[in-house]
Amino acid sequence: MSSLPEPPYYAVIFTSQRTTVDHGYGDMAERMVELAAGQPGYLGVESARGADGLGITVSYWRSPEDIAAWRRHAEHRIARDTGRSDWYAHYTLRVARVERAYAWAREDGPQDPQA
Amino acid sequence: MSSLPEPPYYAVIFTSQRTTVDHGYGDMAERMVELAAGQPGYLGVESARGADGLGITVSYWRSPEDIAAWRRHAEHRIARDTGRSDWYAHYTLRVARVERAYAWAREDGPQDPQA
């Protein structure tokens, strides 16, 4: 994700609490990542979910218009509907304009300074 | 987090990959959340880290000035330094202006429609 262009670009911050209902969730999540990656203006995605079921997915886009087009995608709509009926207890979605970005990476290999 | 004010407000998206070094990481993370919550312009925080060590923390702020002040906080600086020396393999930090927000929550209790 350090390969994103220089800001400005846009982020969709999707914070969700999973239910205990599986019902194809993993396949859907994988499919949405794959599908999003093929959309115009897609720049990248980052995702994490903890053991408590709270997850954050941030997808990055060139423009608000690209985000709106992805929002209207038929298969994405179906996933959204199933999200509401089965997978999520609650979620929040935020659209934000990224104004600054800074990446840092460890230079040397060893992760343990005592090693 | 559905108690945030109406946009616009600001988000700091911090995406990080943990090393295997503990060295007080949990205490620091807890302390930073506590400390941030007392800063001017702080609105809230959401955080998730998966079993693979990739984590996303999004904190929300009233203005870029509030974010800059938090960045300069002495104890936060120390945590940042230790993050680089010990806790993180790499990280990305993005500052974004939240333009739209939408929250959804399940109305009824049962999470399992078959129950």
For the sheet containing B88-105, what is the strand order?
Answer: A42-49, A54-61, A9-18, A88-105, B88-105, B9-18, B54-61, B42-49
Q: Is residue B45 part of a domain?
A: yes
Quote the tokens at residue B22.
């503990």
Q: What radius of gyration, in Å, describes the C-alpha atoms of chain B?
A: 16
Helices A64-72, A74-82: inter-axial angle, 10-degree rounding: 70
Q: How sure is the predictor about B113, in pLDDT bands with cuts at 50, 70 and 90?
A: very low
Q: Is residue B7 part of a domain?
A: no
Query: Could you give the percent of chain A with pLDDT greater than 70?
Result: 91
Q: Is residue B4 part of a domain?
A: no
Q: Is residue A113 part of a domain?
A: no
Q: Report the pLDDT value the prediction gives residue B52, as an integer from 0 to 100.
A: 95
ipTM metric: 0.91
Q: Is residue A53 part of a domain?
A: yes
**Contact between residue A84 and residue A17 where contact means Cβ atoms under 8 Å apart:** no
d(CA A25, CA A21): 8
- CA-CA distances (angstroms) from residue B58 to A85, B13, B104? 26, 5, 18
**φ and ψ at residue B69, rounded to 5 degrees:** -65, -40
What's the sign of the alpha-carbon dihedral A86, A92, A95, A100? negative
* Chain A residues with CB within 8 Å of chain B CB: 1-2, 7, 11, 13, 15, 19-21, 46-51, 54-56, 58, 64, 84-86, 88-106, 111-113
Is the predicted pLDDT of residue B114 greater than 60, yes or no?
no
Nearest to A56 among B48, B64, B111 (CB): B48
Q: Is residue A50 part of a domain?
A: yes
Q: What is the mean predicted confidence (pLDDT) over A15-34?
A: 95
Quote the tokens at residue A84.
């509401």
Residues 6+ apart with CB under 8 A from B35: B73, B75, B76
Shortest distance, CA B55 to any CA of chain A (angstroms): 6
CATH code for the domain of B53: 3.30.70.100
Is the predicted pLDDT of residue B2 greater than 70, yes or no?
no
Q: What is the mean predicted confidence (pLDDT) over B2-16?
A: 92
Containing structural domain, residue A76: 18-100
Q: Report the pLDDT value the prediction gives residue A109, as an integer from 0 to 100.
A: 56
In this predicted model, what pLDDT tens digit does every residue of B43-58 receive, in sequence order? 999 999 999 999 999 9
Q: Look over chain B and give the mean of its residue pLDDT values, rounded to a whole number.
A: 92
B109 contacts on A by Cβ (under 8 Å): none
Of B66, B67, B48, the residue nearest B58 (C-alpha):
B48
Q: Is residue B31 part of a domain?
A: yes
In this predicted model, what pLDDT tens digit does every residue of A57-75 receive, in sequence order? 999 999 999 999 999 999 9
In this predicted model, what pLDDT tens digit does every residue of A29-57 receive, in sequence order? 999 999 999 999 999 999 999 999 999 99
B48 contacts on A by Cβ (under 8 Å): 48-50, 54-56
Query: How many domains does chain A divide into?
Result: 1
In this predicted model, what pLDDT tens digit does every residue of B99-111 receive, in sequence order? 999 999 998 654 4
What's the pTM value of the predicted model, to 2 decimals? 0.92
Q: Is residue B109 part of a domain?
A: no
Q: What is the mean predicted confidence (pLDDT) over B73-80?
A: 96
Nearest to B96 among A49, A51, A99 (CB): A99
